[in-house]
């Protein structure tokens, strides 16, 4: 009883400073439903099973903790890619810094504008995948987002997009608290690539809901910003139709607290879902990947590939589950999570899970934690490679399997270059 009251107190304290945004009747109903669900669940605490290795306090506190703005001289991530740039500054869309959305060849609107219309396709999706993703594991911070988000993009692709849509998140205020909600619908036979990069705010709560229809393809690559003091929780909800393809990759370097949740449903036969991540952390760094993939159709394939490189007391978490329902015969599910600990102070916590109710499947999972291979270090040093550079070469080789999940080789090469630069800076420091 005392624990339930404590969760309720934290929840009400967080909600006290918020008010539900205005909008058309359908989105008002969706927001009120999300708020009711949130109050029933309560915001997360350390006693919750899926939060036992990550402290949610900074994400549930009434106010965002101050986070210094990173001043770097790096070239922009994805800067060499021909893309349509949509810029958000501290969680608010900035039209002046953005490109013309029509250049992408898909329908793009701001959530704020779409929410004011009485008739919109968004009505069938806003908060729907988030709601489905609450079972069997509660995700209260996602419900909080659905209730209170006022900005984000609404994208519908009816054919192959002419250019990737690039969502750029700039952080300018040390106390900014951003809540972004994106909804993406990829119609039958269509194809879309979405790129994301930047820290967004001192504290970020983001939801992306993605509906991938039959024979459609969605590609997603995200580079989370280098502002070290930022705190973020992201949620990616996806539902896949027959013979559809969904691929997502996230690179994280820096960030005092990052939790990326992904909930994917394969509801059409012969669907494919690949989700991967590469993270490099140093010192006061906590990174949590929590993934739940449900196979609810036959002949589907899923892959989870997560690699973390941790040093100087950094901490990493992976919680991944594959659920195979009774009719999901011929499922092919693969899951691997691995951590490379570069010192004796860093930690990696893993909870891989399989729950299978079909009898004709191929599912595997594995998790390993270890130090760098001293024999390989010796081999490289014996051939004239300095020890620090040898360690970096082996680190990049360790991360390679996750980066290979990126479909576009140009984007993959950009990610490799970023990781090489991060390692070089740490070597120099």
Whole-structure pTM value: 0.96
Look at the block and give the residue holding tokens 């005392």: 2
Asked if 171 contacts 197 with a C-beta cutoff of 8 angstroms, the reply is no
Counting every residue, how long is the chain? 429
**Gap between the Cα atoms of 356 and 116, Å rounded:** 43
By C-alpha distance, which of 304, 298, 301, 294 is closest to 265?
Answer: 294
Q: In the prediction, which pLDDT does 249 show? A: 98
Residues sharing a CB contact under 8 Å with residue 273, sequence separation 6 or more, in sequence order: 238, 240, 246, 247, 264, 266, 293, 300, 301, 302, 303
312: which DSSP letter? T
Asked if 14 contacts 62 with a C-beta cutoff of 8 angstroms, the reply is yes
Q: What is the 3-state secondary structure (H, E, C) of 218-265?
A: EEEEEEECCCCCCEEEEEEEEEECCCCEEEEEEEEECCCEEEEEEEEE
What is the per-residue DSSP string for 43-81? S--TTSGGGTTS--HHHHSSSPPP-PPP---PPPTTTTS
The neighbour count for residue 83, using CB atoms within 10 Å, is: 21
Could you state, in order of their start, the residue ranges of all structural domains in the chain? 5-372
Rg for the chain (alpha carbons), in Å? 21
User: What are the start-end ranges of the H helices in 105-246?
Assistant: 111-114, 128-132, 140-148
Q: Per the structure block, which two tokens stand in for 338?
A: 């691995």
Asked if 195 contacts 221 with a C-beta cutoff of 8 angstroms, the reply is yes
**Gap between the Cα atoms of 201 and 173, Å rounded:** 7
Q: In the prediction, which pLDDT does 328 show? A: 97
Which residue ranges of the chain lie beneath pLDDT 50?
A: none
Please name every residue paired with 85 in a beta bridge, in sequence order, or none if there are none: 166
160: which DSSP letter? B
Asked if 177 contacts 233 with a C-beta cutoff of 8 angstroms, the reply is no
Direct distance between the N- and C-terminal alpha carbons of the chain, in angstroms, rounded to an integer:
50
CA 372 to chain centre: 27
Look at the block and give the residue holding tokens 């908060």: 127
Please name every residue paired with 192 in a beta bridge, in sequence order, or none if there are none: 218
Q: In the prediction, which pLDDT does 1 show? A: 56
By C-alpha distance, which of 278, 340, 270 is closest to 305?
Answer: 278
């Amino acid at each position: 009883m005392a624990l339930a009251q404590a969760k309720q107190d934290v929840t009400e304290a967080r909600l006290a400073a918020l008010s539900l945004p205005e909008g058309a009747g359908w989105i008002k109903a969706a927001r009120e439903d999300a708020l009711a669900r949130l109050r029933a669940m309560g915001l997360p605490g350390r006693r919750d099973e899926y939060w036992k290795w990550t402290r949610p306090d900074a994400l549930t506190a009434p106010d965002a903790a101050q986070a210094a703005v990173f001043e770097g001289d790096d070239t922009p991530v994805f800067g060499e890619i021909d893309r349509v740039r949509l810029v958000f500054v501290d969680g608010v869309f900035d039209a002046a810094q953005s490109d013309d959305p029509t250049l992408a060849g898909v329908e793009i609107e701001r959530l704020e504008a779409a929410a004011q219309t009485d008739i919109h396709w968004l009505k069938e999706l806003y908060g729907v995948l988030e709601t489905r993703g609450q079972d069997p594991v509660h995700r209260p911070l996602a419900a909080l987002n659905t209730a209170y988000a006022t900005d984000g993009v609404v994208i519908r692709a009816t054919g192959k997009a002419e250019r990737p849509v690039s969502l750029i998140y700039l952080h300018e205020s040390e106390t900014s608290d951003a809540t972004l909600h994106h909804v993406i619908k990829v119609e039958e036979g269509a194809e879309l690539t979405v790129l994301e990069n930047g820290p967004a705010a001192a504290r970020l709560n983001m939801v992306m809901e993605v509906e991938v229809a039959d024979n459609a393809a969605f590609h997603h690559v995200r580079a989370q910003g280098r502002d070290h003091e930022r705190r973020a929780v992201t949620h990616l909800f996806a539902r896949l139709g027959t013979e559809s393809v969904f691929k997502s990759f996230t690179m994280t370097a820096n960030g005092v607290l990052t939790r990326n949740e992904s909930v994917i449903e394969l509801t059409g036969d012969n669907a494919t879902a690949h989700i991967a991540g590469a993270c490099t952390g140093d010192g006061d760094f906590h990174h949590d990947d929590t993934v739940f993939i449900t196979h609810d159709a036959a002949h589907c394939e899923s892959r989870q590939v997560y690699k973390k490189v941790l040093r100087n007391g950094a901490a990493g978490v992976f919680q991944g589950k594959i659920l195979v329902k009774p009719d999901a015969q011929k499922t092919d599910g693969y899951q691997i999570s691995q951590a490379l600990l570069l010192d004796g102070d860093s930690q990696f916590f893993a909870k891989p899970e399989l729950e299978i109710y079909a009898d004709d499947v191929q599912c595997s999972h594995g998790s390993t934690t270890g130090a760098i291979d001293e024999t390989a270090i010796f081999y490289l040093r014996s051939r004239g490679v300095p020890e620090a550079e040898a360690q970096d070469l082996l680190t990049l080789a360790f991360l390679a399997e996750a980066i290979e999940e990126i479909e576009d080789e140009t984007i993959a090469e950009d990610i490799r270059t970023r990781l090489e630069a991060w390692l070089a800076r740490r070597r120099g420091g």
